[in-house]
């Protein structure tokens, strides 16, 4: 399939990864499945980054509420800040990549905007790595505290796994954009072919520039000698024979 302008499959993959990363990041941010705590094999606590849901006997479902201030240490607050920065960088990087794609369709300069998107993607990846590592350390401290009770088990939930996937998608988005920037000249011939009209116009222009102007014909076509007319010769100006000359001399002597 022919892609318009300077668009390549790499920039399309970059935009797709950025969009998927933003959706995954939102899903991880608003769900309460970062950490799951169970007692005697039954799950009874679901922890998110802002809310905690507890299973209460006699009540269907979970009762959710905000995490108390005294339960938030400096490490947990660092997780909250880094996850919000990651969301902001993910959004800006995706919008910048989309703008670069629009410029690439019109064959306009898009490299600077795409380079900016790559930098923002790297910042998003750093923020996500900080979030993943910091929350892992925070949860390990909680696991050590809860391990005193052998009937209690603590595991990471799918929201934490989704956040890891988000980091991988943003890293892939930056790599695809960087490949497009560095090798766009080499891959242009794989993704773009000039229109037939443009090719014909270029060929005609090159022929006009290369071929010299034809010289004017020295003999106009209208003045060409008609067929059947013989060339003039010296028969009209023949010299008299020698006998005629002698007769003229004799007549002169007689006189």
Delimit the domains of the chain by residue range: 9-191
Q: In the sheet that 62-66 helps form, which strands lie side by side, from edge to edge? A: 62-66, 51-55, 42-47, 35-39, 152-156
Tell me how far apart the terminal alpha carbons of the chain are, to the nearest angstrom. Answer: 113
Name, in order, each residue with C-beta under 8 angstroms of 217's C-beta and a sequence gap of 6 or more: none
Architecture of domain 9-191: Up-down Bundle (1.20)
d(CA 58, CA 31): 24
pLDDT tens for the chain, 255 residues long, are: 566 667 788 889 999 999 999 999 999 999 999 999 988 878 889 999 999 999 888 788 889 999 888 888 899 999 999 999 999 999 999 999 999 888 887 766 678 888 999 999 999 999 999 999 999 999 998 888 887 777 888 899 999 999 999 999 999 999 999 998 887 655 454 444 554 445 565 666 666 666 555 544 444 444 454 444 444 444 444 444 555 655 666 566 565
Report the predicted TM-score, pTM, of the whole model to 2 decimal places: 0.68
């Amino acid at each position: 399939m022919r892609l318009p302008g300077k668009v390549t499959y790499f920039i399309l993959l970059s935009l797709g990864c950025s969009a998927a990363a933003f959706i995954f990041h939102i899903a991880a941010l608003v769900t309460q499945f970062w950490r799951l705590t169970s007692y005697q094999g039954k799950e009874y606590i679901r922890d998110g980054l802002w809310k905690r849901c507890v299973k209460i006997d006699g009540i269907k479902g979970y009762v959710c509420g905000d995490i108390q201030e005294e339960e938030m240490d400096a490490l947990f607050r660092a997780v909250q800040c880094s996850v919000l920065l990651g969301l902001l960088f993910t959004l800006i990087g995706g919008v910048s990549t989309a703008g670069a794609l629009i410029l690439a369709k019109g064959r306009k300069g898009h490299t600077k905007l795409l380079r900016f998107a790559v930098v923002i993607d790297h910042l998003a990846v750093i923020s996500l790595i900080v979030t993943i590592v910091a929350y892992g350390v925070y949860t390990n401290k909680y696991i050590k505290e809860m391990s005193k009770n052998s009937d209690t088990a603590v595991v990471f939930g799918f929201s934490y796994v989704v956040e890891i996937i988000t980091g991988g998608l943003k890293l892939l988005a930056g790599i695809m954009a960087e490949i497009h920037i560095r090798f766009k000249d080499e891959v242009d011939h794989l993704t773009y072919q000039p229109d037939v009209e443009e090719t014909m116009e270029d060929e005609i222009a090159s022929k006009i520039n290369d071929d010299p102007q034809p010289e004017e014909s020295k003999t106009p076509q209208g003045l060409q000698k008609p067929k059947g007319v013989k060339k003039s010769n010296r028969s009209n100006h023949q010299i008299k024979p020698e006998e005629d000359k002698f007769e003229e001399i004799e007549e002169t002597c007689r006189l």
